[in-house]
Structure 1
Amino acid sequence: MKTILAALAISTALSGAAFAQDAARIALLHGLSGSPLEAYSKQTHTGFEMGLEYATNGTMEVKGKPIELIIKDTQFKPDIARALLAEAYGDDDALIAVGDTSSGVALSMLPVAEEYERILLVEPAVADGLTGPDSNRYVFKTSRNSSMDMQAQALALAPDENLYVATLAQDYAFGRDGVAAFKSALEGTGANLVAEEYVPQQTTDFTATIERLFNALKDQPGRKVIMIYVAGIDAMTPLASADPGRFEIELSTGGNILPALAAYKQVPGMEGAIYYYYEAPDNEVNDWLVEEHMARFGTPPDFFTAGGMASAMAIVKALETAPDWETETLIEAMEGMSFETPKGTMTFRPEDHQALQAMYHFKIKVEDGVDWAIPELVRVIEPDEMDIPVGRNNQE
């Protein structure tokens, strides 16, 4: 009987906690140690704090209640991430949690959100599966997904029956979901996918992989492209250094953070699609972000800074819009909600809670005095140009 009463007491406390809160407690759960992806997490945190500042006009309050940030380091380990998320919802009474950087870690966190019946806003992890069949109605996602990356990448490559492609990706959720999405994007175009190579997440030796990729492409009759889809490692340098041009093989990839774009100087003229580059969007939010980031840090905002800001602006819009802060009320407010970001307007698709958003077709330009290669804008790829599969139908 005592056990039953205790369980009822906990359930009652959890169900009423959101309504009774005297502050908007938001937990940021990202890997801050233990991986090359740490830089992504730190950019996300910077962007998130700047987003809160912008969205609240500097007050850091919503409806007269202060915003409290709870920051936790998942160490890029699924078991630690799950425990910390449970702690954030239970002990810290967080209304909403934001995370993780790694797709594999973020996937492990989804059941915890469902168990505690609290919202998990995924940023910046990318894998399609994060809003897929194994997700749940408490999960929203401001980061782009693999299908957006690959639909935009395919549009940038202008695929037809003359195109022969081999892919290089990392052997975990991000890489495999990305290649699956790329194959889907090529369907019906006539393009030929001739090889798929997957490497461990922190690979440094690409010798054997490059040989297999070159062998798969070198004797093909048409346009030959290696499409690279990796995160946190430099695959561009070893591939470019191996001189694919001797076999008339081109390289193509998506965008990346500014330090990684330095490697793109080896491939001037390369085309691809990017999630964000600070010179690409044309809107007031991005103007503010670029100006303020330059003033505070002496550098432009980077790839994941924009994503962090977008997630913060989504949360503030939801908290301002919802009549109360009960989870069900917040979900109702967020489904179909449009909100402004450095990339322009995003909209949470009601069916699976993925934020639909623009992407950017670029062509690499090398400019003296700039430390990185410039992904010069070719054109904006609007959300309705991309056929993004619905992951999980939350309306059923």
Structure 2
Amino acid sequence: MVGLVGIWYRSRYRLKQIGSLVIATILLAATLVALANVATAQAPKSTIKIALFQPRTAPALNFYGTWAIQGFHLGLEYATGDKKPENLALLMGLKEASYSLPDGRRIVVKVFDTQGKPDVAISKAREAIEEWGADILAGETFSSLAVTLASIAKQYKKLYFVFPAAAASITQDPVFNKYVFRIARNTDQDAAAMTYFMVENLGYKKFAFLAADYEFGWSYMESIQAALSKYPGTRIVALEWVPLTATDFKPYLLRINASNPEVLGIIWAGDFSLIIRDLSALNMLGRIPLASVMIDLFTTNYINNCVPGVQGSLINLTAVTYDAYVRNRASQTPLYGVLEKMMKEENIYPYDFLKGNPCKALDKLSGARVPDLWHPPAFATAQFIVEAIKAVPDLNVDRMIAFLEGLTLETPMGITTIRPEDHQALRPFYIVRYIVDNDPNSDTYGLTIGEYIATIPPEKVAPRILTSYKPYPKTFSVSIKSPLAGTAPFTATLTAVIEGGTPPYACEWRIEEKSMSGTSITYTFTNPGIINITLSCTDSIGLRANASAGIVILKPEVTPTPQITTPQTTPQVTTPATPRPEQAIDISMVAVIIAILVMAGIAIALMRRRSR
């Protein structure tokens, strides 16, 4: 009995000893905080250089490059807030143009002429990176050259924003890599929009195609076949591959005519006026409907106003468009209206190369200051680049990639989101009606333009995901797994419990003015009290997460003086054995846990009572 009283007394003493520690532990536990998504950043880069690649002196598609440069310039002005109309002339002259960010840093852009040649594109890319010091790559009209630039971006670990090149393969394996982003649309989206409209709206089943025999055409036709496979009963009755340098299209068109298609799709980038000429000469134009896609004002007005025998044939027809000029589109996409206004304010003429054209409609178009096919996506690309530069001032490439993945912005194309799995932007397409502009105050007065009818939502034209890429995790947090208490000297295993982030992780522990590294450590506590533990972990892309915890270390127990009892005279009666010291420790530790729970319950009850 005396032994049991001794045990109770010692347990009571130990409870009293740790009473204040229990309260302090509860308060400490209530303030434990894990900080996530705090980036480790080096000093911001004061000057950011963007190399913009376009085929300025190529024999074909150079005017697409001009539109891309114009749109990119306007997008940089809008996104930085630094309006410098004079910069456009510098860019067109292959000279440096500077745009200032609100924080005082500068974005410097320079155009590099790829001439539409792969070997030149490679040499210019190396010049831009190794000699000029480019931080970010952008542009290129030819899809085959964009494929080459994508591999260089991977080699040098530089972000590459593709536009206007539209081949879907650029954002698909094996070409795609994590450094490649495309805000502009691709051929998969084009094909999905075209087939959606041709089949679901117009009811066509038998298709013929005349396609350019290079990367763009191959990718487009592969996309068309995939899109048509979703519609039972549709089929391709003729497919003619034509060299991009062809000038006589009659042999190809005659074979197409013999297949009796319900509709003809022309898969061609740039000027296809010669195709229209030969269609007209063979009496096929108007007899076989063309796949209704409004590409740009140049093509639209050539067909509707310049080809003998078919003038006015487009008026009141409906079509799908990507980014051709549509006068009332600003009602659906407010930034399209901003782009229109900026074009006029800075007197930007996309069609000045048509000045003096013998077709009066095209000559008039040369004086129009309106956005066309590549202005909206180029503008939007600049928006996304500037947002990434603002968000990651030190230009850590992996952190910029993580930031851009899933980013959504309002752009002149509509609400635009970068899909994390392949870095292809998702955006709406539009259904329009061909009309004659009857506004005498308009730059396109008397010309054929588009009138907005309806929006095709992004999910209806979303391209296939054909990559094995795994996007960066968006969250990163850490907590500490450790014992609540122990008796000195106490050896404990401490583990960082990590969620999210990108491995490998680097963790630094701080305990009693000592530092240790690793995601799991062993530490011996020798000093009684509440010992604070802090942990800081960094993932491979520089995201940091912090956590802290406390552990209660008790004083070593003093072994009590052994109790001496006198043996009883009755042989059958023995004195109860005194429990071993470790039994007392077990009981007291149970008491500690019970006390913590009781104190926590009291604290909660008091808070609830006060809240009333």
Structure 1 length-normalised TM: 0.88
Q: Pairwise mapping of residues 86-235 of structure 1 onto structure 2 (< 5 A)?
A: 86-133=126-173, 134-159=175-200, 163-189=205-231, 190-217=233-260, 224-234=262-272, 235=275
2:192 and 2:461 in contact (8 A); partners too:
yes
Gaps of 5+ in 2: 1-41, 84-98, 305-309, 348-367, 439-443, 472-612
Three-state SS of the structure 2 residue aligned to 1:376 is strand
What is the distance in 2 between the residues matched to 1:240 and 1:97? 42
**Corresponding residue for residue 290 of structure 1:** 340
The one-letter code of the counterpart of 2:181 is: F
Three-state SS of the structure 1 residue aligned to 2:290 is strand
What is the distance in 2 between the residues matched to 1:147 and 1:188? 13
1:47 and 1:307 in contact (8 A); partners too:
yes
1:168 and 1:196 in contact (8 A); partners too:
yes
What is the distance in 2 between the residues matched to 1:188 and 1:283? 30
2:318 and 2:431 in contact (8 A); partners too:
yes
User: In structure 2, which of residues 98, 111, 135 is the aligned counterpart of residue 71 of structure 1?
Assistant: 111
Assess, with a 3 A threshold, how the Cα gap between structure 1 residues 300 and 75 changes in structure 2: closer, same or farther. same
Three-state SS of the structure 1 residue aligned to 2:346 is helix
1:343 and 1:358 in contact (8 A); partners too:
yes
1:26 and 1:69 in contact (8 A); partners too:
yes
Compare relative contact order (CA 8 Å, sep 6+) and give the higher one, 1 or 2: 1
Deviation at 1:388, TM superposition (A): 1.3
What is the distance in 2 between the residues matched to 1:394 and 1:295? 43
**Corresponding residue for residue 272 of structure 1:** 319
Deviation at 1:103, TM superposition (A): 0.6
2:279 and 2:285 in contact (8 A); partners too:
no
What is the distance in 1 between the residues matched to 2:239 and 2:138? 32
Deviation at 1:241, TM superposition (A): 4.4
Structure number with the higher helix fraction is 1
Q: Pairwise mapping of residues 285-364 of structure 1 onto structure 2 (< 5 A)?
A: 285-297=335-347, 299-322=369-392, 324-364=394-434
Deviation at 1:227, TM superposition (A): 1.0
Confirm or deny that 1:262 pairs with 2:301: yes
Three-state SS of the structure 2 residue aligned to 1:123 is coil
Three-state SS of the structure 2 residue aligned to 1:345 is strand
Deviation at 1:188, TM superposition (A): 3.2
Assess, with a 3 A threshold, how the Cα gap between structure 1 residues 57 and 142 changes in structure 2: closer, same or farther. same
Deviation at 1:366, TM superposition (A): 4.2
Q: Pairwise mapping of residues 243-258 of structure 1 onto structure 2 (< 5 A)?
A: 243-244=283-284, 248-258=287-297
Larger Rg over CA atoms: 2
- Can you list the C-alpha shifts for 1:106-156, whole angstroms capped at 9, x where unaligned? 111111001000111001100001111122111101110001111111111
Deviation at 1:283, TM superposition (A): 2.7
CA RMSD of aligned residues (A): 2.2
Three-state SS of the structure 2 residue aligned to 1:158 is helix
What is the distance in 2 between the residues matched to 1:167 and 1:122? 26
Assess, with a 3 A threshold, how the Cα gap between structure 1 residues 303 and 19 changes in structure 2: closer, same or farther. farther
* Count of residue correspondences: 373
The one-letter code of the counterpart of 2:139 is: G
What is the distance in 1 between the residues matched to 2:80 and 2:206? 49
1:144 and 1:355 in contact (8 A); partners too:
yes
The one-letter code of the counterpart of 1:198 is: W
1:168 and 1:197 in contact (8 A); partners too:
yes
Confirm or deny that 1:376 pairs with 2:419: no
Deviation at 1:346, TM superposition (A): 1.1
The one-letter code of the counterpart of 1:250 is: P
**Corresponding residue for residue 90 of structure 2:** none
Query: Greater shift after overlay, 293-302 or 178-187?
Result: 293-302
Query: Greater shift after overlay, 265-274 or 29-38?
Result: 265-274
Structure 2 length-normalised TM: 0.58
The one-letter code of the counterpart of 2:188 is: S
What is the distance in 1 between the residues matched to 2:292 and 2:60? 19
